[in-house]
Amino acid sequence: MRLFLALLLSISLQSCSTMSNNHHSHVYCDTCMRNNYGHIQRSEKAKNVFMKRSGYPNGRPGYVVDHIIPLYKGGEDTPENMQWLTVEQHKEKHRALSEAD
């Protein structure tokens, strides 16, 4: 997992057109579409397609759907940019990304 995170962090990621540092100490996409809670808008349709293609149409216990390249880093909200990570892997990935920002 650490090798995966190191590779992920070493890749030059495309950023949203307007980025800023917010009070949460990580990069914030100012131009990304947001839902009522302030989170970047996600496509439920794309997530459902990914889950069905991966053989887990109803979810996978202990796992979350993760964007390989995060949306706030310019990643696309498509099934091709999604993967299953354990809850712990997901937390570790986002801690590492926050530290890198």
Domain that holds residue 73: 2-13+42-100
- 74 assigned to some structural domain: yes
The answer to whether residue 30 is domain-embedded is no
Contact 93, 84 (CB under 8 A): no
Range in 36-40, 45-49, 83-87 with the lowest mean pLDDT:
36-40
Please indicate, yes or no, if residue 36 is contained in any of the structural domains: no
pLDDT at position 100, please? Answer: 84
CA distance 47 to 52: 9
Is residue 34 included in any domain, yes or no?
A: no
Instruction: Name the band, by pLDDT with cuts 50, 70 and 90, for residue 29.
Output: confident
The pLDDT of 6-27, averaged and rounded, is: 44
Dist CA 49 CA 65 (whole Å): 12
- What is the domain count for the chain? 1
Residue 26 lies in a domain: no
Nearest C-alpha neighbor of 71 from the set 29, 37, 100: 29
Distances (CA, A) of 43 to 46, 47, 71, 92, 97: 5, 6, 11, 24, 22
Q: Between 57 and 37, whose confidence is greater?
A: 57
Query: Is residue 59 situated within a structural domain?
Result: yes
Q: What is the pTM of this model?
A: 0.69
Flag whether 6 is in a domain: yes
Work out the number of other CB atoms within 10 angstroms of the CB of residue 23.
6
Q: Span 75-87, mean pLDDT?
A: 96
How many Cβ atoms sit within 10 Å of the Cβ of residue 62?
9
DSSP 35: -
With respect to residue 37, please indicate whether it lies within any of the assigned structural domains: no
